[in-house]
Structure 1
Amino acid sequence: MAAPLAYALIATDLDGTLLRGDDTLSDRSKAVLERATAAGAQHLVVTGRPAPRTRPLLDDLGSRGLAVCGQGAQVYDAGADRLLFSVTLDRELAETALGKIEAEVGQVYAAVDQDGVDGLTLIEPGYLMPHPTLPAVRVERRDDLWCEPISKVLLRHHALSDDELAAVAREAVGSLATVTMSGPGTVELQPLGVTKATGLALAAEYLGLARTSTIAFGDMPNDIPMFRWAAHGVAMANAHPELKAVADEVTTSNEDDGIAVVLERLFS
């Protein structure tokens, strides 16, 4: 009889966690994920990227199953190329939230991820994509951001740090939306109450797996709810201090195959 799996569900963030800085997956990481799935574990990508920006990476992984996208606002079925679950951010609330933030810190620059499997990322004048490899469409004015349903708003400020902007945004926005910080230059507004844990819990239910059998890997404060939901949270060496503070374990960096280091130990 085969030994029981230490963790039946492996939840991994992408940027700064599973992926290297050049957006590639190392052969070592890919090999150990294949070994874990061959042993019976499920690998679940849990990312802030919307489904259309996640799909090419799932193809590279050979994944035809589920993925949690959009900071938990989307559960995406890669095999069927459809959303099993999707929550949108009310566009009037989003516009009001932006106004409240700008009343505190002056002009911010905004982008939005549209809802749907073919949704676009729209960026207003002055917004610089923190991830230059991700495709985006520049619009002429802010009003153009609200032309279709959206899953979230991305914010940048010319002078404030991410931590400073996130703190001001949380205070200003209040109960209008959830504020997260998911990477360098990436402060986001998403539907109130929606986090990575929301999508992860729903995907785990679809898969028939429990939080007690889940190990999660991440690098930024937006991964905190996922760590609190999972049985074991592993922060990368390059992780934000807020995430390291709640992690059960800290591994090596994403550039040094930190996920593989842990999974090789568990799936030897």
Structure 2
Amino acid sequence: MAAPIAYAERTTYSLIATDLDGTLLRGDDTFSDRSLSALARVAAAGAQHLVVTGRPAPRVRPLLEFLGSTGLAVCGQGAQLYDAGADRLLWSVTLDRELAETALGKIEAEVGQVHAAVDQDGVEGLTLIEPGYEMPHPTLPAVRVDRRDDLWCAPISKVLLRHATLSDDELASVARAVVGSLATVTMSGPGTVELQPCGVTKATGLALAAGHLGLRPRDTIAFGDMPNDIPMFDWAGHGVAMANAHAELKAVADEVTLSNEDDGVAVVLERLCSQG
């Protein structure tokens, strides 16, 4: 593991942006006591915690309630800005369903059959999965539909893809090569290659949320573990990758901390509090 990099210009940040899966959450979808304590310390010091996740707003709501958060959250890979206190979306972008179908066709023309799921837009949107698709997070609720056409019954924020034999890296590489401007291709976790609205990334939602809060990139420290966090790291003043992070994210991170199972986020936040 790379050694933590000393902060050359500042030791405090006003905005703590954290991914959830593989970052702040442990593998069993829980927060450690140490992480909760560290978040409480930075809040007491005046910093704001912002969840920036690929999960859609309905799948994030229970976690925000557990954290006692009534502020903003960036959901759906940056396609949704959710106000937890009001339980409403302040902003959302949907993926055109015809473009999504076309993109899927282009991908399958290259690699054969893929299995797909969609996250519907809105605070009550469902996750729909077609026959053959297995949820990478079995604890998350999903509704199985009878055929692919049923995935497009309502506006969607993104499409999730899985392939029987290709790795996530291989599937994402092919998808990026053939999808072009139809959608943005991201890889957000094991078994999770996604299509989202073209040009929308976690940085899109993070910048919008920071603007609402009156904060800037240099006020922000971001934590993540997968390639979908790269735009967020590019935007933030300081990017911290987890020890369990994908190599592509570690390559652009300012610092590598311990794994999500070893309270890597808390380790950095505790250091910041001691230096502040």
Indicate whether the TM-score tops 0.5.
Answer: yes
Instruction: Select the residue among 190, 198, 210 that pairs with 1:192.
Output: 198
Instruction: Select the residue among 246, 256, 262 that pairs with 1:240.
Output: 246
The 1:78–1:25 alpha-carbon spacing in structure 2 relative to 1, beyond 3 Å, is same
Q: What is the alpha-carbon distance in structure 1 between the residues aligned to residue 12 and residue 32 of structure 2?
A: 24
For 2:191, the aligned partner's letter is G
1:160 aligns with 2:166: yes
**Other structure's SS at 2:212 match:** helix
Q: What is the alpha-carbon distance in structure 1 between the residues aligned to residue 273 and residue 152 of structure 2?
A: 46
Q: What is the alpha-carbon distance in structure 2 between the residues aligned to residue 101 and residue 229 of structure 1?
A: 30
Q: What is the alpha-carbon distance in structure 1 between the residues aligned to residue 72 and residue 260 of structure 2?
A: 23
1:257 aligns with 2:266: no
Q: Which runs of 5+ in 2 are unaligned?
A: 1-9
CA contact 1:5–1:41 (8 Å) conserved in 2? no
2:124 paired residue number:
118
CA contact 1:70–1:151 (8 Å) conserved in 2? yes
Deviation for aligned residue 1:115: 0.1
2:180 paired residue number:
174
Instruction: Select the residue among 219, 227, 232 that pairs with 1:213.
Output: 219
Q: Which runs of 5+ in 1 are unaligned?
A: none
Q: What is the alpha-carbon distance in structure 2 between the residues aligned to residue 138 and residue 54 of structure 1?
A: 20
Q: What is the alpha-carbon distance in structure 2 between the residues aligned to residue 228 and residue 159 of structure 1?
A: 32
1:66 aligns with 2:39: no
Q: What is the alpha-carbon distance in structure 2 between the residues aligned to residue 123 and residue 213 of structure 1?
A: 39
Q: What is the alpha-carbon distance in structure 2 between the residues aligned to residue 35 and residue 44 of structure 1?
A: 15
1:36 paired residue number:
42
Deviates more, 1:201-210 or 1:4-13: 4-13
Q: What is the alpha-carbon distance in structure 2 between the residues aligned to residue 60 and residue 21 of structure 1?
A: 17
**Other structure's SS at 2:123 match:** coil
Deviation for aligned residue 1:5: 7.0
1:108 paired residue number:
114
Q: What is the alpha-carbon distance in structure 2 between the residues aligned to residue 14 and residue 147 of structure 1?
A: 28
Residue identity over aligned pairs, in percent, reads 85
Normalization by structure 1: what TM-score?
Answer: 0.98
1:150 paired residue number:
156
CA-to-aligned-CA distance 1:83-128 (integer Å, 9 cap, x gap): 0010000000000000000000000000000000000000000000
For 2:157, the aligned partner's letter is S
Runs of 4+ in structure 1 deviating by more than 3 angstroms, as ranges, are none
Deviation for aligned residue 1:76: 0.1
Deviation for aligned residue 1:172: 1.0
1:20 aligns with 2:26: yes
1:86 aligns with 2:92: yes
Q: What is the alpha-carbon distance in structure 2 between the residues aligned to residue 20 and residue 78 of structure 1?
A: 22
For 2:141, the aligned partner's letter is P
Instruction: Select the residue among 52, 55, 60 that pairs with 2:61.
Output: 55
**Other structure's SS at 1:267 match:** helix
2:234 paired residue number:
228
Once superposed, what is the RMSD of the aligned Cα atoms?
0.8
